[in-house]
Each structure stands twice: as C-alpha cells, then as structure tokens.
Amino acid sequence: MGFSSALQSRAAHEALIVRQDAELRLMETMKRSIQLKAKCDKEYAISLAAVAQQGLKIDRADDMQGSLITKSWRSYMDELDQQAKQFKLNAEQLEVICDKLAHLSQDKRKARKSYQEEHSKIAARLNHLTDEVVRKKSEYQKHLEGYKTLRTRFEEHYIKAPGRSGRKLDDVRDKYQKACRKLHLTHNEYVLSITEAIEVEKDFRTVLLPGLLEHQQSVQESFILLWRNILLEAAQHGDLTADKYKEIQKRIDTVIGGINPTEEYAEFTEKHKTSPTTPLQFQFDESLIEDIPGKLTASTLTVDNLTVDWLRTRLTELELAVKECQERQLKVIEHVNGGSPVANGSVISNGSMASNGIQSNKDSQNRQSKDLNALRCQEKQKQKLVDMIKFSLNEVGCEELPSGCDDHLSLEHNFIDHGFNNEQQISLSTNRPLYEEEWFHGVLPREEVVRLLNIDGDFLVRETIRNEESQIVLSVCWNGHKHFIVQTTGDGHFRFEGPPFPSIQELIMHQFHSELPVTVKSGAILRRPVCRECWELSNDDVALLEKIGRGNFGDVYKAKLKSTKQDVAVKTCRMTLPDEQKRKFLQEGRILKQYDHPNIVKLIGICVQKQPIMIVMELVPGGSLLNYLRKNSNGLSTRQQMGMCRDAAAGMRYLESKNCIHRDLAARNCLVDFEHTVKISDFGMSREEEEYIVSDGMKQIPVKWTAPEALNFGKYTSLCDVWSYGILMWEIFSKGDTPYSGMSNSRARERIDTGYRMPTPENTPPEMYRLMLKCWAADVESRPHFDEIYNVVDALILRLENSH
C-alpha cells in the first residue's frame, strides 16, 4: 500500500511529518554513539601504541645481541603497534561514517522541508481559491445591493418624474451605469473563480496530492536504503575477528541485514491509512440573480458593452499563461530525454555506489514527473477558462454588443429635450485625411468615447486595434452605446448595411443626412457629431526629441511643440496595451486638464489621433525630486528642504480642495525646477472622490508610502495622502533615503501596525519631525488636513528667516 492512496488526509500528512522528525532524532542519536565509539577506539589506539613504544625501549640492548627471546619480544611489540594503527584506522573510518550520517541527516531535513513546502503550496492554492469563491460571492452580494438601490433611484428619476434634467440627473445616470458595470464584472469574476476552483480541486485530489505523496514515498525509501548502507559500513569497522566479537558481529549483521526499505513503512501506512479525500463541490449561488431579469445567467459569462473589454483582456492573460505552461513542459521533457538529472541530497558510500546511483536517477525522474503533472494541471485549468471565455465571445457578433444595463435605461432619453435637429451640419472634406476631421477621435479608448456620447444620436468616429489589425469604428449613443465596425469591400469602398462609398467621410455624410439607421437591428440614427475636445492635440503637433525616463505605460520624452517651439514633457502609451490600460493612462490627463496651480504639473494636452497615445505636460527641468535630493544631498540647506515641504503641501492643499485623492504621493512622483520649486506629478492612481474604496485588488500599491487603513481595508481619503506626505517629508530631510530601510514591505506593515514610526532624519528641525508624527497618526481623524500642514510649515519657515 503506497502513500499516494493511503495518506491523503490532513491527519496522515501530520503523522508523516512526525515520523520524519522521529527519524531525524534517531539519526542524531546514532551519530553521537558512533562519534563516541570513534573517540574510544582512537584513545585505545594511542594507549596501545604507547605500550608498544615502551616495550621497545630495551636497556643495554647490545648485551642481548642474538637473543631469541629479545627477537620475539620485538616482534610482539611490533604487532601491538600494528594493532594500534588498525584501531586508529577504524576510528578514522568511523569519523567518515559520522560525516556521511550528518550529510544524510541534513539532506533528510531538506527533503522534509521541501515536502512540507510543496504540500503547503498545492494546499494553499486550493484554500486560496475556496476563499476567493466566498469572497467573490460576498462582492456579488454587495454590488447586487448597490445595483438594486441605484436601479430604484433611477426609476424614480426617469419613470415617476419625467422631464427632469440637469446635473443631478446626470449624476444618477452615471452612478446607475457604474453600479451595473460593477455587478456584471463581479458576476463574471464569480463564474470564473468557481470554474477555476472546480478544476484546481479536482487536480489537487487526483493528480497533485497523489503525485506529491508518491514522490515523497520514493524519497523516504531512498533515505532508508542509504541509512542501511551507512549502518552496515559502521558495523564492518567494529569487527575485531575474535570469536566473541564474531558472535556479536553476526547478530549485528543479522539485525542490520534485516532492514528492507520496501517494508519499512508498511506498519506505519496501515496504522494511518485513510480513505481518499471527498471532492469539494463548487456551485453558482443562483439566489444572487433571482431579482435580475434576463441579464445574468448562473454559471454563464455575460458578454455586453460593459464586460467585453475586460473579457478580452482576461482572455489574453490566460492564453499567455497557457503558452507559458506549455513552454515549461517542453523544457522538463527535454531535460528528461537529454539531460543527466542528479538526485537532491544523495549520499553515495564506497560500497554501495551502484545501488545509490540507480536510486538517484529514480528520485530525479519521480521529481520531474511530479513537476510535469503540476504544469499539465495548470495548463488544463487555464485552458478551461480560455475555452469558456472564447465560447462566450464567439456568441456575440462583431457588429455591435448588447447593452449591459436594463432596457429601461433608454427611458432617460425619452424624457430629455435634446435641443438638436437633423438639419445640423457636419464638416466634410474628401480632400483631407480622416484624422483631420473634427469628429474623428483617433485611438481614443472605448471608455473615453462612452463618456463623450451622452444624448441619443451623438456620434463620433475612432480607430481601434482588433487581432493586431487597425479598424475604423463608428460609436453612437442610442439606447445605450453602440459601436459599428466600418466594413471594407473588395474594391476598397466602405459601408455598413447600406450602399458602399469611396471614403469614410462620404459614408458618414450619407448616414447623417439620410437619417437611416446604421443597421436595421440597432435602429441607431446619427444626429449630432461630437467633435474633439480643445485639449486633444494632433500627434503631428509634437516633435519627440530625447528619451528622459520610463513610466508604467511607456517611455517619457523631452519634446517640442511645433506651433509655439515650447519645450514639453511627453508621456507615451505602448501601442500593445489593451484599451483598459490606455483608459488608465488617459485618466491622468483627464484629471490634470482641470487643475491650474504653481505646485501641480500643468497639462498641455493629449494626442489620440494616432498611435502612440501621448500626454503632453510642462517640462520641469530639475526632473524627479528623489533624484534631485540624492544628487544634491550636500548642497541642500534646511531652509530649502522646508521650502520643498511647503511647496508639496501647497499643491496637496489645492488637490484636497478639489476632492482629488492622489494615492501615490512620494518623492519619485514629484518634480523640481531649478528654483527648488516642487510640483506634484504622476496622477495615474488618483481619484476625484471624497472617499475611494479599492475594488480591483492591491496590486502595485506603494506599501511603504500608503496609510494603514488603505492597506488593510482598501479605503482611501485625503487623509491617506497626509500619511504619504509625512513619508515625503522624511524623504526630503533624509535627502533621498529609502523609507523603512532594510525592511520588507510585509515587515514594515507589521511594525507600523504595532506602533513603530521611523526615527527623525539627521538635522531635521524638531517641529518638522513632530509634524511628520502627526501625519502618521494611527487614528485617521487625528491627522492634520493639508491646509493646516501648509500653515504650520509656512510659519516655521517665516520664523527661521526672522531668526537669521
């Protein structure tokens, strides 16, 4: 009976660990005993050699010349000396055996640790996914409640009180659409997590755990074989050939020879054997969608305009994961076929080299087989999700996507006086390129497009990348948002369902003036072109000069505006990124365009007419504050450092007044000019809300700069930026040192939660350090707001200047 079928339970696993601990203790006892015997043999050899030396010291030997008795005595003493040498040799051999036993013990500890880590690793994945299913269900319930509440509020505004309009109306509509999107995304995440959990649990029970246990049994038995060989070798060096020692040796050989590795664990396995683990059942909780009419289906992915981009991004990630698993499998197979695997921790004695070599190869093959099984399971799990998403996406045509929100969302438009008529003119010129048309928005991501199209009949034209090919898309607001791919005919003309036209401009002109629906199924009619916003620049207006850095989304360049010859900084977005990432990239520009403050980096515009998408900002000549602090550490005065703190506080005070949470305030994300003026930059993680709750995980969070409540609960407010500002002050006065130096992120979190705060940097004014400590108050409400921080720093600077 083997480990793989008999020892799958938790109790059996713990018993196996206890057994290995007992074996390690037994090895230590054996080692100490053999060491003591070697010591005794060595001492006896020294004593016997002393006897022989003493016996050879014959006084007046010349007087005994030719004596036979003297000759016999000398021979006797020489034999005693040979015996002493033999005992010394035996002692040395026993010391070698002790070293072998020590190495075996060390290798066995490593094997035990490896088994525990591997067992924990595969069990942790199952536990993680089990918890993930519960968490996804909880999120589902939370978003469902929010959805129901906002749906009720929506119906109150647009069904019970028609004709209402204004900012409140827009706010209700936006919040309802956000809740709807969150619900659908959560639905899909819940479905995928259940599917993945089912696959992982099955593989854990039928492949990974049995494979690990089978491998562990092989490792255990190989150690028993090596252990037996070491004991046999030790016993051989204790054989003194006398009859009484022969009888002892015979009994020792008999009991040691009776060790059989294949029978070693028979009684242990029988005692702790259990039935195979019961399969865990993962099922979609259908009660979650009882009140959702027709939009969401249990255990089925939802594909609509709210989820399709997320699904495509997820599909790309999963396909890459499948490919990586396949490549790793090939490497393992190539190693098995062409390599020369070496067993981990094998100890080969002189008398058992052949058997140990075979055992080493067997151990290596078992380990490689186990690795291959794990990779195949991972590939199968990911492929299951790939097939599921592909099937769902293939069910939706490329013409348009269903709306993610309820049909009654269109009621909103029935109650709004649009203020536009079909006589509105549209700019058209067939003699200029498409990208010069005011209603062509280049590669603006879908999410940005949806934000611009607000009234039924609003439309624009944009470019998108599908399957690595560029396609022109007509986006229309009509009972939601619809996106139509411009079809190309064989002779190079363009069309939807109607007649073809030689240019896209003429096609759009025809649809606009004819008032015909783009497609019969959609019924969408073009009423009002939405032109580019004033801050949308043309890519051709910007000349890139030199690369000056690298960001999360692409490279950063020094550039020049052709129209004004102004030097600017340009952030670029890699063309290969999905639309969701491009939306996040443009978020910084969308936030900065409305801000104007000397301590906030200024936005000049964005470029979306062509790839790559670019954000154009003022060029701050001093570069990153962090690099500036490190390069000028010897030349900065206390006054200059305090001025930098005041500048940062002024910029953050302005952001706080605009309800903007930066979320990534740090020296690396601030810029400094040649006058030592600091400007807040890098708004990629910022949110324009009084309170922001993270719902997409805590990946890429700057742990050492982030407030505890944000790390622990995902809750961000402006007072979280105050905590980060305290870290920024510490960076300024430490002249660019790394916070919590020598600590990992997890260790820093633990220390902070127990009340630890960083000590004051050298030469920091006491008042500034006290301000840092206030910023790091565990009680959020005890922290000062940026208006108070600015006033404190400004007063300290004034006092410093007056004292001089």
Residue ending a domain, choose from 592, 619, 646? 619
The CATH number given to whatever domain includes residue 754 is 1.10.510.10
pLDDT number for residue 162:
59
Q: Count Cβ atoms below 10 Å from residue 190 Cβ, excluding itself.
A: 24
88 shares a domain with 26? yes
402 within a domain of the structure (yes/no):
no
Cβ-contact 533, 586 below 8 angstroms: no
pLDDT at 410 over 50: no
* Cis status, amide bond into 739, omega within 30 of 0: no
Task: Tokens for 657, please give them.
Answer: 């007044």
pLDDT at 314 over 50: yes
551 among annotated binding-site residues? yes
Torsion over CA: 48, 50, 56, 60 (sign): negative
Closest CA to 6 of 215, 206, 274, 245: 274
pLDDT at 243 over 90: no
pLDDT at 235 over 70: yes
Instruction: For residues 716 and 704, give the distance between their C-alpha atoms in angstroms, rounded to a whole number.
Output: 15
550 among annotated binding-site residues? yes
The CATH number given to whatever domain includes residue 543 is 3.30.200.20
Q: Count Cβ atoms below 10 Å from residue 58 Cβ, excluding itself.
A: 14
403 within a domain of the structure (yes/no):
no
Residue ending a domain, choose from 521, 549, 578? 521
Among 343-347, 379-383, 494-498, the range scoring the smallest mean pLDDT is: 343-347
Instruction: For residues 529 and 462, give the distance between their C-alpha atoms in angstroms, rounded to a whole number.
Output: 12
Q: Identify the bridge partners of residue 542 per DSSP, sorted by sequence position.
A: 561
- Please give the DSSP secondary-structure letter assigned to residue 670: E
Instruction: For residues 484 and 99, give the distance between their C-alpha atoms in angstroms, rounded to a whole number.
Output: 76
Instruction: Give me the number of domains the chain comprises.
Output: 4
Q: SS in 3 state form for 177-237?
A: HHHHHHHHHHHHHHHHHHHHHHHHHHHHHHHHHHHHHHHHHHHHHHHHHHHHHHHHHHHHC
Which of 35-44, 148-157, 273-282 shows the highest mean pLDDT? 35-44
Tens digits of per-residue pLDDT, 145-157? 999 998 888 888 7
Active site (annotated) includes residue 664: yes
In this prediction, residue 362 has a pLDDT band, given cuts at 50, 70 and 90, of low
573 shares a domain with 504? no
Tens digits of per-residue pLDDT, 686-724? 554 444 445 444 456 889 999 999 888 888 888 999 999
In this prediction, residue 160 has a pLDDT band, given cuts at 50, 70 and 90, of low
693 shares a domain with 730? yes
Average pLDDT value for residue range 627-632: 92
pLDDT number for residue 524:
94
Distances (CA, A) of 267 to 27, 270, 756, 798: 20, 5, 53, 84
- Please give the DSSP secondary-structure letter assigned to residue 566: -
pLDDT number for residue 494:
93
How buried is residue 204: exposed, middle or buried, by Cβ count under 10 Å (0-12/13-18/19+)?
buried
pLDDT at 102 over 90: yes
351 shares a domain with 262? yes
pLDDT number for residue 359:
57
Cβ-contact 586, 606 below 8 angstroms: yes
Tens digits of per-residue pLDDT, 486-514? 999 888 899 998 899 999 999 999 999 99
Q: Identify the bridge partners of residue 311 per DSSP, sorted by sequence position.
A: none
753 among annotated binding-site residues? no
- Please give the DSSP secondary-structure letter assigned to residue 342: -
701 among annotated binding-site residues? no
Residue ending a domain, choose from 472, 487, 521? 521
552 among annotated binding-site residues? yes
Pairing label, strands 692-693, 678-680: unpaired
The per-residue pLDDT of the chain, averaged, comes to 82
DSSP string, 509-540: HHHHHH---SSTTT-----EE-PPPTTEE-GG
Which of 299-313, 613-627, 658-672, 724-738 shows the highest mean pLDDT? 724-738
459 within a domain of the structure (yes/no):
yes
The CATH number given to whatever domain includes residue 72 is 1.20.1270.60
Distances (CA, A) of 760 to 101, 626, 708, 766: 53, 18, 20, 8
722 shares a domain with 596? no
- Give the full edge-to-edge strand order of the sheet including 481-485: 481-485, 469-477, 458-466, 528-529
pLDDT at 340 over 60: no
377 shares a domain with 300? yes
- List, in order, residues 6 or more apart from 602 with CB less than 8 Å away: 592, 595, 596, 617, 618
Q: For 53, what's the count of Cα atoms within 13 Å in the CB-facing half-sphere? A: 8
Average pLDDT value for residue range 431-449: 79
The CATH number given to whatever domain includes residue 510 is 3.30.505.10
Cβ-contact 43, 84 below 8 angstroms: no
Of 41, 203, 371, 664, the catalytic one is 664
pLDDT number for residue 237:
79
Torsion over CA of 216, 218, 223 and 228, rounded to 10 degrees?
A: 140
435 shares a domain with 325? no
Q: What percent of the chain has pLDDT over 70?
A: 84
pLDDT number for residue 258:
72
784: left (phi over 0), alpha (psi -120 to 50) or beta: beta
Q: Which domain holds residue 558?
A: 533-619
373 among annotated binding-site residues? no
176 shares a domain with 143? yes
409 within a domain of the structure (yes/no):
no
223 among annotated binding-site residues? no
799 within a domain of the structure (yes/no):
yes
366 within a domain of the structure (yes/no):
yes
Average pLDDT value for residue range 163-174: 75
Average pLDDT value for residue range 357-383: 77
Q: What percent of the chain has pLDDT over 90?
A: 34
462 shares a domain with 582? no
328 shares a domain with 214? yes
299 shares a domain with 153? yes
Helices 786-803, 638-657: inter-axial angle, 10-degree rounding? 160
Instruction: For residues 145 and 149, give the distance between their C-alpha atoms in angstroms, rounded to a whole number.
Output: 6
Task: Tokens for 739, please give them.
Answer: 């916070």
pLDDT number for residue 248:
57
pLDDT number for residue 165:
64
Q: Which amino acid is at 321?
A: A
- Please give the DSSP secondary-structure letter assigned to residue 692: E
Cβ-contact 574, 553 below 8 angstroms: yes
User: Distance of alpha carbon 682 from its chain centroid, rounded?
Assistant: 22
Percentages of the chain per state (helix, strand, coil), in multiples of 5: 55, 10, 35
Q: Count Cβ atoms below 10 Å from residue 455 Cβ, excluding itself.
A: 17
444 within a domain of the structure (yes/no):
yes
Q: Which amino acid is at 193?
A: S
Instruction: For residues 474 and 459, give the distance between their C-alpha atoms in angstroms, rounded to a whole number.
Output: 7
Among 91-105, 266-280, 662-676, the range scoring the smallest mean pLDDT is: 266-280
Looking up tokens 């033999």 gives 86
Q: For 325, what's the count of Cα atoms within 13 Å in the CB-facing half-sphere? A: 19
pLDDT number for residue 161:
58
221 shares a domain with 280? yes
In this prediction, residue 666 has a pLDDT band, given cuts at 50, 70 and 90, of very high
Among 229-238, 248-257, 531-540, the range scoring the smallest mean pLDDT is: 248-257
Question: Radius of gyration (Cα) for the chain, nearest Å?
Answer: 39
Q: SS in 3 state form for 436-498?
A: HCCCECCCCCHHHHHHHCCCCCEEEEEEEEECCEEEEEEEEECCCEEEEECEECCCCCEECCC
Instruction: For residues 367 and 373, give the distance between their C-alpha atoms in angstroms, rounded to a whole number.
Output: 10
- Please give the DSSP secondary-structure letter assigned to residue 672: E
Instruction: Count H helices and E strands in the chain, helices first.
Output: 21, 16
Strands, E, within 517-634: which ranges? 528-529, 536-537, 542-550, 555-561, 567-572, 603-607, 614-618
Instruction: For residues 70 and 630, give the distance between their C-alpha atoms in angstroms, rounded to a whole number.
Output: 89
SS3 604: strand
In this prediction, residue 163 has a pLDDT band, given cuts at 50, 70 and 90, of low
123: left (phi over 0), alpha (psi -120 to 50) or beta: alpha
Cβ-contact 587, 593 below 8 angstroms: no
In this prediction, residue 780 has a pLDDT band, given cuts at 50, 70 and 90, of very high
Q: Count Cβ atoms below 10 Å from residue 742 Cβ, excluding itself.
A: 7
571 among annotated binding-site residues? yes
297 within a domain of the structure (yes/no):
yes
pLDDT number for residue 251:
66
